[in-house]
Chains A and B, each alone.
Chain A
Amino acid sequence: MIYVDSLNEGIVIDHIRAGAGFDIFFQLGLDKIDSVVLLMRNVPSEKMGRKDLIKVESNFELNLDILGLIDPNVTINIIQDGKIMKKFKLELPAAVSGILKCKNPRCISHREEIADSMFYLYDEQKRYYKCEYCDSVTWL
Chain B
Amino acid sequence: MAVGSFAGSIADSHMAVRNYIVPTDLSLDDLRSIFALTDEIIKDCQKFQDVCKSKVMASLFFEPSTRTKFSFDAAMYRLGGNVIGFADPNTTSQAKGESLADTTRIISGYADLITVRSPYEGAAKHMSMYSSVPIINAGDGGHEHPTQTLTDLMAIRHYKQTLDGHVIGICGDLKFGRTIHSLISALSRYPNNKFVFISPPELQLPDYVAHNIDQSMILRQTDSLINEIGNVDILYMSRVQKERFVSEAEYLRLRDYYILNAEKMKRAKKDMVVMHPLPRLNEISAEVDSDERAIYFEQARYGMYVRMALIMNLLDLG
Contacts and interface: CB of A to CB of B under 8 A. Distances in A.
Interface of A: 104, 106-114, 122, 130-137
Contacts, number: 56
Interface of B: 99-101, 118-123, 125-126, 140-143, 206-209, 211, 244
Most buried by A among B119, B120, B244: B120
A135 B101 contact: no
B208 A108 contact: no
Contacts of B125: 108, 132-133
Contacts of A133: 121-122, 125-126
B208 A106 contact: no
A108 B123 contact: yes
B208 A107 contact: no
A131 B122 contact: yes
B143 A134 contact: yes
Contact of A107 (B100, B121, B209): B121
Most buried by B among A107, A114, A137: A107
A108 B99 contact: no
Given A106-B141, A106-B142, A122-B208, A134 B122 contact: yes
Contacts of A109: 122, 126
A40 B108 CA distance: 55
A109 B142 CA distance: 15
Contacts of B120: 106-108, 110-111
Nearest to B176: A106
A114 B120 CA distance: 14
20 contacts: A104-B121, A106-B121, A106-B141, A107-B120, A107-B122, A108-B121, A110-B120, A111-B100, A111-B123, A112-B99, A112-B101, A113-B99, A122-B211, A132-B122, A134-B122, A135-B143, A135-B206, A135-B208, A136-B206, A136-B208
Given A133-B121, A135-B208, A137-B207, A108 B126 contact: yes
Given A134-B122, A135-B206, 17 more contacts: A106-B119, A106-B141, A106-B142, A107-B120, A108-B100, A108-B123, A109-B126, A110-B120, A111-B120, A111-B123, A113-B99, A130-B208, A133-B121, A133-B125, A134-B140, A136-B208, A137-B208
Given A114-B126, A134-B141, A135-B143, A108 B118 contact: yes
Contacts of B126: 108-109, 112, 114, 133
Contacts of A104: 121
A109 B207 CA distance: 20
Contacts of A122: 208, 211
Contacts of A113: 99
B121 A134 contact: yes
A111 B98 CA distance: 11
A45 B200 CA distance: 49
